[in-house]
Structure 1
Amino acid sequence: MDEKFVKARFLPEATTLNQRRRDKTLLIEDTPPKISLALSKAYPAILLLNRLLSIISWTDEDPYYTICLITFCGIIIIYWEFFSHFVLSIILCFVACSLVWLTKTSVQSLGETSESPTLEEIIDSLRNLNTRISFLSSGLRLSKSQISRLEVLGILLIPLQCFLVRSILGIRHFALLIMFFSLTFYSTWAVTFRKLIWRNVAVQKIVNLIMGPSITTAAAKTIPSESKIDISKGSNIVTFEIYEHQRRWVGIGWSNRLLPFERTHLTNEYLEECCLSLNNFTFPKLTKQQKLQGCRWKWMEEKWKIDEEYCKHHDSEGWVYYDNKWENGVYRDTVSSFTRTRKLYRRALVVHKS
Structure 2
Amino acid sequence: MPNKNKRRLHAEFVPSPNEHPPVSLQDIPPQVISALSIPSPTFDEIIDTLDNFTARFSFMINFDSKQKDFKPLLINLSLLTPFYVYLMKHYISYKLWIICVSVYFLIHYSTWCIALRRLLFRLKIVKQILSFLTNEIYSMTDNEIEVALLNLNTKNSIDQNTKIVEFQLMENERRWVGLGWCKKMLFLERLPFCTIDFKNSYNDLNEFQFPKLKNYSSSKWIWLDKNWIVDSNTNWTYYDNHWKHGQNFDSITKYTRSRNLKRQCLVVLNK
Per the normalisation by structure 2, the TM-score is: 0.45
Q: Which has the higher strand share?
A: 2
Please identify the structure whose Cα radius of gyration is greater: 2
Q: Which has the higher helix share?
A: 1
Per the normalisation by structure 1, the TM-score is: 0.36
